[in-house]
Structure 1
Amino acid sequence: MLHLFRRCGIEFFIKLQHCLLGLYAWEFVISLDFDWKVITGKHAFRWPLFFYFAGRYLMLAALIGIIVSVDPPTSLNCHNLVTFNELAASASLGLACINLAVRTIAVWHNKWITRLVILLVLGHWSLVLQSGLVITSWTPTSGCVIVETKNTILAATSLYAMSFDFIVLCLLAYRLAFALDPISIASGGLARRLISEGLVYFLVSFVCNSISSLLMIIIVYDPVVAVIFHIPACVASTIASSRVVRSLSTFNAETGRVQ
């Protein structure tokens, strides 16, 4: 019975990765116009966009790598490929958090808040850069199959991301609600846009990371089922974060009120 459950889990995992790649590819293509405007200079490149581009393309590379690992044409080195996929997906989650954190730093423009946010970022990335959390083995039928996972660190990464996003969103909301200079910060509806976009991102990230963390904590007997929603959480957070960046960047270009 347990063997059948594990087999169903593997099949579901493989199909889910194909669906995620299709979803992300569609999202990627329909938003390429923004990337092209930045590349061609039609939209000004500001340094926070580095995190947007890095997270967006790392997530795409991770999904392609995952598809190769679960549906390979020939035998391959699972360890190296899976390590790359794992780091790229986790890094995209970390970069998604940074996208909102950068805007909080910009709104506060306070050295203590900046230091606090930087410390939170460093703490998150100390978990993100952990490697060897997913151990796989090669099988002719299913490619690189997960045989062991370090659920504690993976769950800690997701929980940290949730806490990080919550702290940053609260700081952002507080600053915009009690801004000393309401004309420069809240004019043109920028405050409402920052709060609404940030809240949408936080809710998406919170729900997805909550499900992922709970499965890792509760289901310890099957490594595949335990981490089955880790990649969906990374994908959802990256999509939501990228949409926030594009929305705010478009808003900025239309108003010209943000430095």
Structure 2
Amino acid sequence: MPDWNSPAELAVDAAAFLKFIHAMAGLYFWEWVTTLDYEWAFITRQKRFHYPAVFYFLNRYSLLFTMIGLLIAEDSTSEINCQALYTFNQITGQAASGLASINLSIRTIALWQNDKRVVIPIVIIILGHWSLILQGVTVTATWQDGVGCVVGGVNNTILAATFIYSMCFDLVILSVSMYKLVVSARTGRSQLMSLLFQDGLMYFFIAFLSNMLAVVFILLNLNAILSVIFNIPAAIFSTIVACRAVRRLNNFATKGPEIFSSTGHSFRAAPTAGNVVAPTKSDLHHGVHVQMQTFTVADDHVSDTDVHELERKGRGVPDVEAGDGSPSVEYKVPYGASAL
């Protein structure tokens, strides 16, 4: 068993920590650059801005500033205030983990349609999470000539409690979401339900494993460097999967409503829905009456391929009408179906 606090071991761990931080920074910078089109869609107003996007952007950019701060701390050649810089890095890094959980919570709240029985407990859990995140400085760092910023000590108790709380929080959110999805699946799972289920599982397992690895090294308390070495990967992986889940859900919603019936069958309606006309009844030759709901869509948003596809599947009957002078296409779907 090596002496984990010997000068030689600390020097080796510091070198490994330096290379590890650069690798993690490269990973996150690559993720950030390759997904800037999402931000551009908001800037150019291709996407409408809603309040959940605030937590999404706070999550992304708090971690971005954390990685920049860590690179400054590790690569500085002239003396800097290491304690102030590490305090900033700690707050923004822990905030990124907390915001990742909030992004998952918002999806769960939306899934339950703002049910107070779900919203109130989740808000209480979030407040408890942030009370740990904002506990104060748990890492101390000092400047050493010829070395740079050196981590001097870590408050393992608060740090471990924060990560364990995050793991339990994510488990509660996943359980509540899965319960809702299982109940909804009894009437046929839609594409949206499947997306939420898959993303929720992916987020939970990646975030849980990365947080668990950080907790193990915190509790082992080998030395000050190894106690915090896996904190950054936990924040990075949680942020990446949470932001990807938000983007996937938003991109799914912009493709148009999904129509699904009580029989479990589902299909996507036209990309852009226009006016929803009141339900009508159509008479069939054998005297059977079927209630229909009509979606009117401007024909410049509907391609011939969409029309022929609906006709081929037998799920819609396209009609052409002249309203205000501009042609439009109507798709009639069963009135008993639900549109998300």
Q: Output the TM-score relative to the length of structure 1.
A: 0.94
Indicate conservation of the 8 Å contact 1:204/1:236, yes or no. Answer: yes
Residue-by-residue CA offset, 1:117-137 (whole Å, 9 max, x unaligned): 001100110111122100001
Residue-by-residue CA offset, 1:135-163 (whole Å, 9 max, x unaligned): 00101233211010011111111111111
SS at 1:75's partner residue?
Answer: coil
- Residue 133 of structure 1 corresponds to which residue in structure 2? 138
Structure 1 residue 249: deviation in Å? Answer: 0.8
- Name which of structure 1's ranges 240-249 and 138-147 shifts more when overlaid on structure 2: 138-147
- Residue 291 of structure 2 corresponds to which residue in structure 1? none
Q: In structure 2, what residue type is equivalent to 1:15?
A: K
Indicate conservation of the 8 Å contact 1:124/1:157, yes or no. Answer: yes
Residue-by-residue CA offset, 1:76-127 (whole Å, 9 max, x unaligned): 1111111110000000000000111011111112102100000110011011
Mapped to 2, the partners of 1:40 and 1:148 lie a distance apart of 46
SS at 1:73's partner residue?
Answer: coil
Indicate conservation of the 8 Å contact 1:71/1:142, yes or no. Answer: no
- Residue 148 of structure 1 corresponds to which residue in structure 2? 153
Asked if 1:190 is matched to 2:195, the reply is no
Higher strand share: 2
Mapped to 2, the partners of 1:256 and 1:248 lie a distance apart of 13
Structure 1 residue 177: deviation in Å? Answer: 1.2
Asked if 1:85 is matched to 2:89, the reply is yes
Asked if 1:114 is matched to 2:119, the reply is yes
Indicate conservation of the 8 Å contact 1:70/1:142, yes or no. Answer: no
Indicate conservation of the 8 Å contact 1:135/1:146, yes or no. Answer: yes
- Name which of structure 1's ranges 18-27 and 139-148 shifts more when overlaid on structure 2: 139-148
Unaligned residue ranges in structure 2 (runs of 5+):
259-338
- Measured on the aligned residues, the alpha-carbon RMSD in Å equals 1.7
Q: In structure 1, what residue type is equivalent to 2:128?
A: G
Unaligned residue ranges in structure 1 (runs of 5+):
none
Indicate conservation of the 8 Å contact 1:159/1:213, yes or no. Answer: yes
Structure 1 residue 73: deviation in Å? Answer: 3.4
SS at 1:254's partner residue?
Answer: coil
- Residue 247 of structure 2 corresponds to which residue in structure 1? 246
Indicate conservation of the 8 Å contact 1:135/1:149, yes or no. Answer: yes
SS at 2:58's partner residue?
Answer: helix
Residue-by-residue CA offset, 1:150-192 (whole Å, 9 max, x unaligned): 1111111111111101100110110121139958xx53x1111
Mapped to 1, the partners of 2:99 and 2:240 lie a distance apart of 11
Percent same amino acid among aligned pairs?
37
Q: Which has the higher contact order (CA 8 A, sep 6+)?
A: 1
Q: Output the TM-score relative to the length of structure 2.
A: 0.72
- Residue 235 of structure 2 corresponds to which residue in structure 1? 234
Is the alpha carbon distance of 1:202 and 1:52 closer, same or farther for their aligned partners in structure 2, counting shifts above 3 Å? same
